[in-house]
């Protein structure tokens, strides 16, 4: 594909219907902001020459988030939040690299790279003035309806679909378009204010193009979930579920055993080795790495920056945060480990808690290989538990424990050496 296209991501809106103080595009899904999914896909497409994000509501905050992760993105700003047509016009000064423009909404994280690539390819092949990505829905939704004339040509987009009967099919607009640059900006100038909404809608450009006799094509998707957007918290929950299933599918393809995908929750960057079994109600946050031949769960929460090596067993009602667990270690029952490094072949009993926070600062704990931590032990960080050391059940460890020492009591004292 020799031709190139510039991508414009519309991310200026206030997102009132999500009822959040945070801009909608920064709402976290699968361990990362919503807009990052679109930007990552666009960055991966060779046909996309440049990426412009149009900002408005809380623009400085959104720009700061994006700029940290994506160095190749340019920004334009919509001073008055008066609709998608005006948002796109705000990007015009930056659109000088190509004669083609891809327009997307920032709140559509389910679109795939393959779909965008094929849509752009179709747009170029047919030499269209505009290509609209569409899909068929039988369910009630709030997407714009595609209307066609007697020759099956697209002639307009009607805002918001209201299906009259259950099971009735409607072709709807995804909010993703390919345009010829010059035709696009001529049309944008003619879009009039919607008196009811007090906004200038980009969708109105389709009717303008139709009356001009422009070539308007629809690229119809087979899988309509790809164009689901986020306008409400309910929409967000659906998107979160679809993305989570995609993440789990990729893990299962690599040899991970997910016992119950409906009740297992991972992040976009979760890494798990072959033959590891993950039981239901396991929650894995971003930047977590799990080795091979492990068992995780049920009811386990692995928080950010946790590393689990091979052949580790993590059991019921356990939370691990910013910790490293080495090979062959077993933590099979309820407990909490925070900022803890655990060596090889350690046994940690039921109810063990690492008290890593004193109200002001968090401290680190080190448990060396082959240590045995008795049930209901509390380790007050900072602490070091030596190689082969043992803590008796119910001990409160406030000092370092030397190699092979056995400590018991509150506070824990040396009983003897192994």
Give the separation between CA 373 and CA 378, rounded to whole angstroms: 9
Cite the DSSP H helix spans in 14-150.
34-44, 59-69, 84-90, 113-126
Catalytic residue check, 211: no
DSSP 8-state class, residue 418? -
For 161-185, the DSSP string reads: ---SSTT--EEEEEEEEEEEHHHHH
Contact 42, 5 (CB under 8 A): no
Which two three-digit tokens encode residue 369?
């290989």
Phi, psi of 35 (to 5 degrees): -70, -20
Which two three-digit tokens encode residue 264?
């297992």
Q: Distance of CA 115 to CAs 223, 287, 415, Å? A: 10, 28, 67
Which two three-digit tokens encode residue 153?
């040509």
Give the separation between CA 303 and CA 381, rounded to whole angstroms: 19
The residues, ordered by sequence, that sit 6+ positions from 338 with a Cβ below 8 Å of its Cβ are 320, 321, 322, 323, 354, 356, 357, 362
Hunting for tokens 């691990």 — which residue is that? 320
Give the separation between CA 367 and CA 378, rounded to whole angstroms: 13
> Which residue of the set 313, 333, 364, 404 is catalytic?
333
Contact 308, 291 (CB under 8 A): yes
User: Catalytic residues, which ones?
Assistant: 333
């Amino acid at each position: 594909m020799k031709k190139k296209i510039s991508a414009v991501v519309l991310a200026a809106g206030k997102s009132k219907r999500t009822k959040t103080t945070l801009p909608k595009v920064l709402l976290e899904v699968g361990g990362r902001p919503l807009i990052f999914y679109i930007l990552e896909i666009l960055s991966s497409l060779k046909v996309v020459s440049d990426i412009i994000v149009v900002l408005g509501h809380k623009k400085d905050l959104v720009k700061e988030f994006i700029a940290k992760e994506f160095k190749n993105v340019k920004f334009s700003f919509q001073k008055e939040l008066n609709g998608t047509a005006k948002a796109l016009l705000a990007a015009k000064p930056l659109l000088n690299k190509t004669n083609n423009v891809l327009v997307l909404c920032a709140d559509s994280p389910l679109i795939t790279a393959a779909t965008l690539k094929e849509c752009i390819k179709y747009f170029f092949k047919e030499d269209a003035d505009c290509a609209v990505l569409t899909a068929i829905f039988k369910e009630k939704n709030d997407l714009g309806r595609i209307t066609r004339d007697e020759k099956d040509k697209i002639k307009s987009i009607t805002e918001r679909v209201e299906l009259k009967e259950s099971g009735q099919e409607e072709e709807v607009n995804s909010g993703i378009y390919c345009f010829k640059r010059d035709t696009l900006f001529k049309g944008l100038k003619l879009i009039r204010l919607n008196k009811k909404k007090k906004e200038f809608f980009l969708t109105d450009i389709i009717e303008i193009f139709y009356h001009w006799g422009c070539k308007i094509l629809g690229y119809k998707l087979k899988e309509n979930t790809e164009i689901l957007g986020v306008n409400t918290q309910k929409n967000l929950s659906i998107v979160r579920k679809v993305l989570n299933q995609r993440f789990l599918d990729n893990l299962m393809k690599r040899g991970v055993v997910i016992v119950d995908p409906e009740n297992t929750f991972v992040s976009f960057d979760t890494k798990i080795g072959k033959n590891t079994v993950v039981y239901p109600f396991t929650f894995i946050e971003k930047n977590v790495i799990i080795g091979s031949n492990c068992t995780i769960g049920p009811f386990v929460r692995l928080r950010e920056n946790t590393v689990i090596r091979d052949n580790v067993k993590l059991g019921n009602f356990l939370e691990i945060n910013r910790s490293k667990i080495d090979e062959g270690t077993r933590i099979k029952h309820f407990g909490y480990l925070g900022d803890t490094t655990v060596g090889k072949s350690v046994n940690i009993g039921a109810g063990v808690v690492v008290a890593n926070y004193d109200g002001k600062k968090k401290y680190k704990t080190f448990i060396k290989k082959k240590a045995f931590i008795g049930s209901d032990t509390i380790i007050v960080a900072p602490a070091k538990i030596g190689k082969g050391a043992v803590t008796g059940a119910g001990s409160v460890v406030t000092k370092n424990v030397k190699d092979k020492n056995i400590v018991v009591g509150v506070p824990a004292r040396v009983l003897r050496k192994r």
